[in-house]
Amino acid sequence: MASFFVLGIFTGLIYSMVALGYTLVYGVLRLINFAHSEVLMTGAFAGYFFLHYSMTGTSFSTPFRFLLLIGAIAVSGIVGAVLAVVIERFAYRPLRRRNAPKLTYLISAIGASYFILNFVGKEFGRDPTATPQPITQNFNVTIFGGQISAFDISVLVVTLILFFITNTLVSHSKIGRSIRAVAQDSETASLMGVDVNTTIASTFAIGGFMGGVAGLFIGMSAQVSYNMGFTPALLAFTAAVLGGIGNIKGALIGGVVLGILMYVPIYWIHQPFYEPVIGFGVLVLVLLFRPTGLLGEALGRSA
């Protein structure tokens, strides 16, 4: 029971990083970014390549492992951010320029998602692979009967740091102020001298960075393959809706709550494939009973 609880919390933390990408884009553009799952997948691939080519020896010292992890996070995050900006540039901006209907954005995003997915599948093969582990497997802490590994601790630390940075960025920096301005009213914001295109691109970049890092962790805990992004992204969207879409703290809390809601029942039903089924049930229930989510929808000053 406790171990499922712990599993839920730490998986939920990873989901909340992905959920942040959905939340930011939804807050600014009022759109579900269907291509976000591919940002995650590409981040995982970037992390795989970085670790695969830098971990050539057999034994590594602890500081070197630490550096490897930092490097992998940076590489995955930057590749994710670049891909997110590229998606925005080619799948969204041409439509935004001519003020196209919302339906076309969704379809173009689906197209981008399937293009990237199968392009990566074609170029790097379609077999799943395991990522080399920079984090030691020999460290475990037991709290209330639940085992917490070094991997879990690093997920927790990285997620909290990244969320803190993002929150600070959005609520206290200049770019954050322009993001909030565009989220409120992009036309007025542009009249006030905010460069809407740059702001939207930077929103995608922030979400993409988080998505890429989340991809790295998913790749390390499971396997890397061209179609790995789909289910986590779907669950992360659920987390974003659960926490209140457009709400940064909501993404974090929604992710953790969703993780717990998904994994604790597995303790009783012993069927791991029910995990996405429960996640989907949560999505439908949230839409039925509290469509604004736990914390409400806002990309606000304090959020």
Partner 1 sequence: MSINERKWPLGLDKDDLRLAVTCFFGGLLLAVMTGPEGNLSSPGFAFQHSIFSSHVYGFVIFGLLLGALSVTRRKSKMGVWELPVSLRLVTVKEKIRTLTNTYPAIIFGVVAFIALIAALLVADFTGPLVPNKLSFGQLLHQFVNSRTYGYISIAEAPLVIRLVRTRLKKSTPAQGSIFSSNVATVIYGLVGGFLFALFADPWLPPRFRWSYFTFGGPSNNAFFHHWTTYLWIVMGGLLAGRYIFVKTSDIRRAKTQRFRRPRAEVSASTRFVMYAGCLFVAVEAPKYLNAFWQSTIYQQIGIFVLLAIGLNVVIGFAGLLDLGYVAFYALGAYTNAYFTGALPIHPPFILNTFFVVPIAVIVAMLAGVLLGLPTLRLRGDYLAIVTLGFGEIVYVLISNLTSVTDGAGGTGPAGGFSINLPGIHYAWSAALTGDLSYYYLLLGFMVPILFLFTSLNNSRVGRSWAAIREDEVAATSLGINPLKYKVMAFAIGASTSGVAGVLSSAKLGALFPSDFALQLSIFVVILVIFGGMGSIVGVLVGAAFLNWVTQYLIFHSFIDYQDADKFMYFGALLILAMIFRPQGLVPSKRRVREFEDEEAGLGSADALGTAVEGPLS
Q: Which residues bind partner 1 (CB under 8 A)?
A: 27, 30-32, 34, 49, 90-91, 94-95, 98-108, 110-119, 121-127, 129, 180, 183-184, 230-231, 234, 237-238, 241, 246, 271, 273, 276-277, 279-280, 283-284, 287-288, 291-292, 297-301
Question: Residue 200 CB, nearest distance to partner 1 (Å)?
Answer: 16
Q: How far is CA 4 from the centre of its chain?
A: 22
Identify whether the C-beta of residue 116 lies closer than 8 Å to the C-beta of residue 34: no
The interaxial angle of helices 102-124 and 62-87, nearest 10 deg, is 130
Helix (H) or strand (E) holding 245: none
Collapsing DSSP to helix, strand or coil, 147 comes out as strand
Question: Residue 111 CB, nearest distance to partner 1 (Å)?
Answer: 3
To 5 degrees, how large is the angle CA 211–CA 82–CA 42?
50
- Closer Cβ to partner 1, 142 or 271, answer by number: 271
Give exposure, 64-91, as e/b (b: 16+ Cβ within 10 Å). Answer: ebeebbeebbbbbbbbbbbbbbbbbeeb
- Closer Cβ to partner 1, 32 or 162, answer by number: 32
Helix (H) or strand (E) holding 142: strand 140-143
Question: Residue 286 CB, nearest distance to partner 1 (Å)?
Answer: 10
- Closer Cβ to partner 1, 97 or 174, answer by number: 97
- Closer Cβ to partner 1, 54 or 66, answer by number: 54
Collapsing DSSP to helix, strand or coil, 224 comes out as strand
Question: Residue 149 CB, nearest distance to partner 1 (Å)?
Answer: 26
- Closer Cβ to partner 1, 35 or 158, answer by number: 35
CA–CA dist 59, 72 (Å, integer): 18
- Closer Cβ to partner 1, 92 or 151, answer by number: 92
Question: Hey, what are 172's tokens?
Answer: 């206290």
Question: Hey, what are 258's tokens?
Answer: 């969703």
Closest CA to 233 of 269, 283, 274, 270: 283
- Closer Cβ to partner 1, 98 or 174, answer by number: 98
Q: How far is CA 276 from the centre of its chain?
A: 16
Question: Residue 275 CB, nearest distance to partner 1 (Å)?
Answer: 9
Question: Residue 230 CB, nearest distance to partner 1 (Å)?
Answer: 7
> Residue length, the chain?
303
